[in-house]
Chain A
């Protein structure tokens, strides 16, 4: 299968690859997927005054999964928590030109965003 140029670019030059400390203030962590299924995404956001000031990812998965999560971190930065919740997997599919067999990668990225936001919210609420 041939990859789109954008997938190749994200794969070769992943944006925001890395980790924040989970317990750090304002950090929300989402881990989705399963090793048996061949993909696990960890997406983290750092929120200040309701705005995502930084985002990081680590992904075990195919090139499209890596590209989807890399793109997600790019899009998350600068967005408010509310805006971030509106990112849809279909936006990722369109941006990266994912073929039908790779749509699940974009779904996983959307799930990861949601999970990170929920984790952030949970931490904020418990304060």
Chain B
């Protein structure tokens, strides 16, 4: 086993060596600008880009012409929300989104509220982190022009009922944007079947390179138009100017092709591993709580709160394993995960949460080792925890008058 062990695959993934191999010629001999129409260098580059566009489109059941390359999912989310608002502002000024979206959607929505006077409804989620399609329906007004709901949550892995939301959006003639950064390449996504009009995703979450992403923009039924947010040479059918990063795009394409071929097997293998890890932990430790949906969740995601133990100290205690925590102490804000808070998880348990993100290159022995170390560390930290001591003495922690600071 090699250390440190990487179990933070929601954050980013290692690049698949096959992806790297596909990219290499495009750094050196095929270095042309895909927009150069007059020579073989440009043609080679363009060929690479167009092949990748097809591979990417195929994974999500789209047409190659519906793929707009961006720098990543953050840009795609910005482009989708801002581009739609700018293009359709005469039709309305209301967006519906959910409270557990990624910051790239939430902060974009907030910027639109502040700068353009757009009205935004932030839908609550249920205790598993799921958006209720009926809440979407009820939030629709005659001014609503966009619904933006994530496919799967990056912290808790809960998968939203996107198809049901897509149906409502269609019925009402409202565009549906889906931030599918965590879902693409991990579980089957069909933009036709699910009624998605715009969809953001990126390469580095699916064993591709960092620095490239895509926005799917529907061309038919309806033809979606967005206002470009970057002015320049009019690349990507005028929706996103800027010289295409050909090697990254080629790698993105290869990554999608591999996901299409291996997604089912990866998901099956990782969900077994994930379930075993969960079972091992719950068997050994009391007072551990699963965050997110028990079944409707990404196959490689596990998010658990360990009562009486603070998340960052837990990560510090198993620092040979790369994990992530919803604890405030891992961020500069000192506020625990807003996603967990939106589920109704108490702040004390949000501070105690750990996210495990398995990936294509995760080994059985690594997961088993992680389980063992987590159990050891939680046990050690509970011995050190005044809260655990009080709970053992039968004191109800909720009845204590704490001095919040």
In the complex, are the beta carbons of B389 and A37 less than 8 A apart?
Answer: no
Give the residues in chain B near A31, CB-CB below 8 Å: 386
Contact B386 A38 (CB under 8 A): no
Residue among B332, B336, B389, B405 making CB contact with A34, cutoff 8 Å: B405
> Closest approach, in angstroms, between the C-beta of B343 and any C-beta of chain A?
16
Partner of A17, one of B332, B348, B384: B384
Whether A19 contacts B347 in the complex (CB less than 8 A), given A35-B402, A62-B310, A62-B316, comes out as no
In this complex, the member of A32, A61, A64 whose beta carbon has the largest number of chain B beta carbons within 10 angstroms is: A61
A59 touches B403 (CB 8 A): no
| B26 CB–A CB distance under 8 Å | no
The dominant DSSP class at the A interface is: mixed
Residues of B within 8 A of A61 (CB): 310, 313, 329
Residue contact A60 to B308, C-beta cutoff 8 Å: yes
A58 contacts B329, CB within 8 Å? no
Known: A39-B310, A66-B313. A108 touches B402 (CB 8 A): no
Q: Does B386 contact A58, Cβ atoms closer than 8 Å?
A: yes
Residues of B within 8 A of A63 (CB): 312-313, 316
Asked whether B386 lies within 8 Å of A34 as measured between CB atoms, the reply is no
Kindly state the separation between the CA atoms of A104 and B351 in the bound complex, as whole angstroms. Answer: 16
B111 interface residue per 8 A CB criterion: no
B385: chain A residues within 8 A (beta carbon): 58-60
For B301-340 the 0/1 string (1 means CB < 8 A from A) is 0000000111011001100000000011100101010000
The answer to whether A60 touches B310, judged by C-beta atoms less than 8 angstroms apart, is: yes
Chain A hits for B389, CB < 8 A: 19, 42, 58
- Asked if B316 and A34 make an inter-chain contact with CB atoms under 8 angstroms apart, the answer reads no
B281 CB-CB contact with A under 8 Å: no
Contact A59 B402 (CB under 8 A): no
Q: Determine if B386 and A62 form an interchain contact, defined as CB atoms under 8 angstroms apart.
A: no
Contact A38 B346 (CB under 8 A): no
Tell me if A41 counts as interface (CB < 8 A to partner B): yes
Contact residues in A for B402 (Cβ distance below 8 Å): 33-36, 40
* Contact residues in A for B405 (Cβ distance below 8 Å): 32-34, 37, 104, 107-108, 111
Complex Cα distance, B397 from A19, in Å, reads 18
Q: Are the CB atoms of A42 and B386 closer together than 8 Å?
A: yes
**Alpha-carbon distance A104/B329, docked complex (angstroms):** 11
* A19 CA to B393 CA, complexed, in Å: 13
Chain B nearest CB from A58 CB (Å) reads: 4
Q: A40 to B387, Cβ gap below 8 A?
A: yes
- Counting from the closest, the 7 A-B pairs by CB-CB distance are A34-B402, A35-B348, A36-B347, A42-B386, A62-B329, A38-B351, A62-B312
Inter-chain pairs besides A34-B402, A38-B351, 7 sampled, C-beta below 8 Å:
A17-B384, A35-B347, A35-B348, A37-B404, A60-B386, A61-B313, A62-B329
Instruction: List 10 A-B residue pairs with CB atoms under 8 Å apart, sorted by A's residue number.
Output: A19-B389, A32-B405, A38-B310, A41-B386, A60-B308, A60-B309, A60-B388, A62-B327, A62-B329, A66-B384
